[in-house]
A and B are shown apart, each in its own frame.
Chain A
């Protein structure tokens, strides 16, 4: 997930999908940000939680 080619593909695909002008930024910095995000997603994603676990926010109609 955090190899350079995957991160670059992620960055370019998402930028195109949501119309984000990443050429205005520093590509290396955005990729570095995605690398951190990938690490954090792995940490959170790998944490075992029951399917019935409720998310924190509550909608009150």
Chain B
């Protein structure tokens, strides 16, 4: 195989398969061998669908041999957070309780879309229990670990997704983001992460957490691969697909870009703000925009999450409380006790906050903000120092992501590396609703100019 599977982009792999230079079966065998070799160190996968992957690859090779075009993602290996239904597998959602559930009868909509385009599913990925966490830690399956330094956490809840991509085991991983669960691990593992507009990608076949806030999305090592997969994942919702790949070359030129001020300039470590400043400088902006009362937005998102999450799991809390991760269970217990008036006010505030954001986007096309307040903490670390105070790691990794997903705005997290540092940190490029094209254009532009990059972790390159 002439193709460098580890370094090649998804587009290059698909082109290589389409031209006949490489067979999908070779790529799949090589990818599965990498998973066998590396996953025990990273705990990214909870299932490896080797048989299914080999059968799919053989079918693609047969299609090509018969003279038919094998699809725009032919042979590209991907995997999905284990809250996506995969036919024949139990959708665990990071929990022990779900082990007794029947296997899924069908694949999630977006998996069907990707496989129809020739992508090859290698398996299901580890996550925080029921997606209620920012650390990538899982008491039942083990903690997913950061490929750039496995002493550190991946971030979560799409922690296995981030570990699988940053170690080069797959090109793209599907994740989900309710309060930051794609953007936090993308930041801590040095990846491009796309949380599209709320409602953009179909949630059919995804185990829910908070219906008011859940988004489907994805992580990759390049903006181009994000766009390639995202275009194919669209559809199946009330909104017509709006492909972005053809727009990427338009870049950042002419876009009015602001740095999020106030709330988004405090409460983090200096490296979080330095990363934003570096991106702002590369994009030639010093202007600031204030999303007012972002602290209230975070609080309202917190209440909606706790209350809806608890309502979803109430029967399981009653019947099998001992089978939950204690850290998840006790927060759900508390969430079950939230009075109705708090929820109504939180939902009213959500619309008010959305209107404030709309007013800002009349003046600007994009806003920059930190993705996380720090680089990856150690795996298992409970406390960290932020702004001179000792605070909970679990509760604070999402302080900058939570107010943004609260109003469903599209975001690409871009990975920033500082010379001499072993771990990356991410910056959120935030757009107005339904403008994934803008956030992906800027991410693509920054990547092309070498400002941001997502290399495979050196131990796995």
Per-residue CB contact flags for chain B residues 316-340 toward chain A (1 = under 8 Å, else 0) read: 0110011000110111011111110
B346 in contact with A25 (CB, 8 Å): no
A53 in contact with B351 (CB, 8 Å): yes
**Minimum distance in angstroms from B249 CB to a CB of chain A:** 36
Q: Which residues of A contact B344 (CB under 8 A)?
A: 55
B336 in contact with A14 (CB, 8 Å): yes
CA distance A22 to B324 in the complex (A): 13
Q: Which residues of B contact A54 (CB under 8 A)?
A: 348, 351
Q: Which residues of B contact A19 (CB under 8 A)?
A: 318
The B-contacting residues of A in range 10-52, CB under 8 angstroms, are 10-11, 14-15, 18-22, 24-26, 29-30, 32-34, 36-37, 39-41, 43-45, 47, 49
| Number of inter-chain CB pairs below 8 Å | 108
Q: Is B354 an interface residue (CB 8 A)?
A: yes
B321 in contact with A30 (CB, 8 Å): no
B349 in contact with A41 (CB, 8 Å): no
Q: Which residues of A contact B335 (CB under 8 A)?
A: 33, 37
Stretch at the interface among B145-153, B178-186, B295-303: B295-303
> Size of chain A's interface in residues, with CB distance under 8 A?
32
A30 in contact with B345 (CB, 8 Å): no
CA distance A14 to B339 in the complex (A): 10
Q: Is B352 an interface residue (CB 8 A)?
A: yes
B318 in contact with A53 (CB, 8 Å): no
Which residue on chain A has the smallest CB distance to residue B293? A47
Q: Is B38 an interface residue (CB 8 A)?
A: no
Q: Is B347 an interface residue (CB 8 A)?
A: yes
Q: Is A56 an interface residue (CB 8 A)?
A: yes
Q: Is A57 an interface residue (CB 8 A)?
A: yes
Q: Is B212 an interface residue (CB 8 A)?
A: yes
**Minimum distance in angstroms from B376 CB to a CB of chain A:** 24
- Tell me if B's interface is mostly helix, strand, loop or mixed: helix
CA distance A45 to B413 in the complex (A): 32
Q: Is B342 an interface residue (CB 8 A)?
A: yes
A56 in contact with B350 (CB, 8 Å): yes
With contact pairs A10-B337, A20-B336 given, residues A36 and B302 touching in the complex (Cβ less than 8 Å): yes
- Most A CB contacts (10 A, CB to CB) among B329, B330, B336, B342 go to B330
A44 in contact with B330 (CB, 8 Å): no
Q: Is B73 an interface residue (CB 8 A)?
A: no
Q: Which of A18, A37, A53 meets B348, CB within 8 Å?
A: A53
With contact pairs A37-B334, A44-B345 given, residues A21 and B318 touching in the complex (Cβ less than 8 Å): yes
B348 in contact with A33 (CB, 8 Å): no
B296 in contact with A56 (CB, 8 Å): no
A45 in contact with B342 (CB, 8 Å): yes
B326 in contact with A57 (CB, 8 Å): no
Q: Which residues of A contact B322 (CB under 8 A)?
A: 24
Q: Which residues of A contact B346 (CB under 8 A)?
A: 44
With contact pairs A40-B299, A45-B342, A56-B350 given, residues A26 and B326 touching in the complex (Cβ less than 8 Å): yes
CA distance A25 to B326 in the complex (A): 7
B347 in contact with A47 (CB, 8 Å): no
CA distance A5 to B231 in the complex (A): 54
CA distance A43 to B349 in the complex (A): 11
With contact pairs A14-B336, A49-B345, A49-B352 given, residues A33 and B296 touching in the complex (Cβ less than 8 Å): no
CA distance A43 to B345 in the complex (A): 11
Which residue on chain B has the smallest CB distance to residue A35? B334
A41 in contact with B334 (CB, 8 Å): no
With contact pairs A25-B329, A47-B293, A47-B296 given, residues A56 and B348 touching in the complex (Cβ less than 8 Å): yes
* Given A37-B342, A56-B212, A56-B348, 17 extra CB contacts under 8 A: A11-B337, A15-B337, A20-B336, A24-B322, A25-B321, A25-B326, A26-B326, A29-B326, A37-B302, A37-B338, A39-B299, A40-B303, A44-B345, A44-B349, A49-B352, A55-B351, A56-B354
Interface residues, chain A, CB within 8 Å of chain B?
10-11, 14-15, 18-22, 24-26, 29-30, 32-34, 36-37, 39-41, 43-45, 47, 49, 53-57
Shortest beta-carbon contacts, A-B, top 6: A33-B334, A24-B321, A55-B347, A29-B330, A40-B299, A56-B350
9 contacts between A and B (CB under 8 A): A18-B337, A19-B318, A21-B318, A22-B333, A26-B326, A33-B335, A40-B302, A44-B346, A45-B345
